[in-house]
Amino acid sequence: MNLVLVDYPVEHVALLRLNRPEARNALSPELRAELRHEFNRLSDDPSIRAIVLTGDMKAFAAGADIKSMVDIGAAEMMARNDEQNWAAIRTCRKPVIAAVDGYALGGGCELAMHADIIVAGEAAVFGQPEVRLGIMPGAGGTQRLVRAVGKYRAMLMLLTAGTMSAREAFDAGLVSKVVDGDGAVAEAISIAGTIAAMPPLAVDEIKQVLLAGMEINLDAALMLERRAAYLLFETEDRRTAMTAFINKNKPTYSGS
């Protein structure tokens, strides 16, 4: 059985759907390996300009697979080299939009936080309940969460295994947009389609500069931004876009 289903709902957009519904899409080593493979493949595919990542209505993902971890120690965990699976998502050059319905817990919440944009269905639930299992997040759950929501809400969630509803997560800054009913995936695809219609090199630079700039001081980040902004003036798509604006045409972009 494929643990990650792949679809292409609109031009230049790939949809990845986690497919372990019977286990609330728990992130087994096999599922993670498939996810890594798909991210690497799509990252290298020039026809793909945005990726939507989702689960099902019950769970985006309920975290790392507890059944696969119950009997193993630190050395075996290290030997799994799970980092390579996360790195494939973290270093993906294409914008990633998570469409979260149901539970996004533990590694599932960390997976959502690997995305660039998070669209949540109104019934989504976010949490990092690892403490309840005597462990802690290991894929960015302490670090990305605190950057998204600040120390006090992050501490509360991490230390009490508490959860946030979609609207609480939106208010806290963990979610980009909340969508009624079961519309999160459609909205995420729509956002991906909008991004895919933009000049790809501009999209690429914006994503890279925003993420890299978060890790360095403001002056250096502003310098990085200026350099990338100058660079985009060299692209064919920049010329196409500005000319189309002046001539009131609808442009198409080549990514050059």
Active site members: 64, 107, 110, 130
Q: Residue 29 CB, nearest distance to ligand DAK (Å)?
A: 11
Question: Can you tell me which residue has the tokens 């690429």?
Answer: 204
Nearer to ligand DAK, 137 or 200 (CB): 137
Q: Residue 164 CB, nearest distance to ligand DAK (Å)?
A: 14
Phi, psi dihedrals of residue 91, rounded to the nearest 5°: -100, 5
For residues 16 and 7, what is the distance between their CA atoms, to the nearest angstrom? Answer: 7
Q: What is the largest CA-CA distance in the chain?
A: 66
Question: Can you tell me which residue has the tokens 């790392």?
Answer: 64
Residues near ligand DAK (CB under 6 A), total = 23
For residues 234 and 256, what is the distance between their CA atoms, to the nearest angstrom? Answer: 9
For residues 10 and 13, what is the distance between their CA atoms, to the nearest angstrom? Answer: 6
Contact characters 22-61, ligand DAK, x per CB under 6 A:
-xx-x--------------------------------x--
Nearer to ligand DAK, 77 or 241 (CB): 77
Question: 111 to 130, contacts with ligand DAK by CB under 6 A?
Answer: 129-130
Q: How far is CA 172 from CA 126, 147, 153, 212, in A?
A: 12, 11, 8, 22
> Where along the sequence are the contacts to ligand DAK (CB under 6 A)?
23-24, 26, 59, 62-67, 77, 82, 103, 105-107, 129-130, 133, 135, 137-139
